[in-house]
Amino acid sequence: MSSATPPTPGTHDGSAALPEARGRLEQVLRAGNFAITTEIAPPDSANPQDVYDRAAVFQGFVDSMNATDGSGANCHMSSSAMCALLSRRGYETVMQISCRDRNRIAIQGDVLGASALGINNILCLTGDGVQAGDHPQAKPVFDLDSMSLLETITGLRDKHQFLSGRPLSQGPNVFLGAAENPFVPPFNLRAMRLAKKVAAGAQFIQTQYCFDLPRLRNFMHQCRDLGLLEKCFILPGVGPLASARAARWMRQNVPGVHIPDAIIERLDGAHDQKAEGRNICIEMIQALQEVEGVSGVHIMAHRQESSVPAIVQASGALSDRTPWAPEMETEPLASTATA
């Protein structure tokens, strides 16, 4: 990692302009493979073993794990610590940064520290409001928003300087991601907002849960028309729903989650709702592989993490590829050598 040449200033194009990929996720994407990322939930604990146990569930089935940063405004182990622990074992991670809890001074320091600890990928988020979580009394910070966060980290990386203009002796060499939610209003603004994020430095995009293929297709068409498909890798979010009741609850209570009635009716009518939820997820991954511009999927299986390997396998999304796992240590990165 440290030997990588810094990217050319001013280029945010993840596909071709960079001399060297920064991590396995970027390598997989640039090689044109269908990438699988997943969400790893940080524990409510200070025990590193809890982190390793959670990661072991996914190994060999995912290209990278996103350690969430106080997701849903609930307090857990920090994303940077999770990623640092996991990168010690060789795992590829995506560190998430939410603007809700820290100001620009803290965030920039964290980014430098994360890169120093071996973290290759950072996802820039605005974050859920504090009202959604277990500490609604907390002060919402929102000093930056996801867009200015992207620009800030791009500045650290490419211009080698803080927001203040003060220079860095070495910038953080990170692959930058952002989120988008094509499933909530204003629908016609979403692709344009993505263009803005790409202009601010986003190289890969993970979306909110996709349960509505027509809306996603519409969004992807708009992205194509704006020329975004060549400038960033788009990984729609997917996930297994546990039951019709859980789906209704999510739709009602989790900000930004859109689940069409047809999906809920299908779950309602199933004998084994949990299995049906997995089937819907598998079918979605299969359908997404056929959508132009989709570079992979981001699986969010909250409290159903153990079902991820079976879902990935059944979807056929990996073809005959096996993502890196610690026991493969002897021949890492072998699959991407020809890329």
Partner 1 sequence: MYSVRLWAARHPRIFEVAYNAFHPVLTRLQPVWKAMGEERSEKVVGKVEQLSKELLFDCKMCGQCILSSTGMSCSMNCPKSMRNGPCGGVMQNGHCEVKPEMRCVWLEAWEGSQKMRQSDLIQVVQTPVDHRLKGSSSWLREARRASQPQQEGRHE
Query: For binding to partner 1 (CB under 8 A), which residues are involved?
Result: 99-100, 104, 126-129, 131-132, 140, 142-148, 151-152, 163, 179-181, 184-186, 188-189, 192-193, 195-196, 199-200, 208, 255-256, 258
Task: Compute the least distance from the CB of residue 51 to partner 1, in Å.
Answer: 26
Q: Which two tokens stand for residue 292?
A: 């132009």
Task: Please report how close the Cβ of residue 170 comes to partner 1 at its closest, in angstroms.
Answer: 22
Least gap, CB of 108 to partner 1 (angstroms)? 11
Tell me the residue type at 25.
L
Least distance to partner 1 from the beta carbon of 23, Å? 25
| Closer residue to partner 1 (CB): 91 or 211 | 211
Angle CA(155)–CA(207)–CA(124) in degrees, nearest 5?
A: 25
- Which string of b and e fits 117-136 if b means at least 16 CB within 10 Å? ebbbbbbbbbbbebebbeee
**Alpha carbon 43 to chain centroid distance?**
18
Residues in the chain: 339
| 234 membership: H or E segment, kind and range | strand 233-238
- Give 93 or 126: the residue with its C-beta nearer to partner 1: 126
Least Cβ distance, residue 244 to partner 1 (angstroms): 18
State the angle between helix axes of 213-225 and 273-289 in degrees (0 to 180), rounded to the nearest 10.
20
Nearer to partner 1, 261 or 320 (CB): 261
Nearer residue to partner 1 within complex by CB, 45 or 131: 131
Beta partners for residue 93, in sequence order: 65
Closest to partner 1 by CB, 74 vs 279, is 74
In angstroms, what is the minimal distance from the CB of 193 to partner 1?
4
What H or E segment, with its residue span, contains residue 326? none
Q: What tokens were used for 26?
A: 């970027």
| Residue 210 CB neighbours (<10 A) | 25
Helix axis angle, 48-56 to 79-88, nearest 10° = 70
**Nearest to partner 1 of 126, 222 (CB atom):** 126
**What is the Cα–Cα distance from 126 to 99, expressed in whole angstroms?**
5
Minimum gap (Å) between residue 267 Cβ and partner 1: 19
Q: What is the CA radius of gyration of the chain?
A: 19
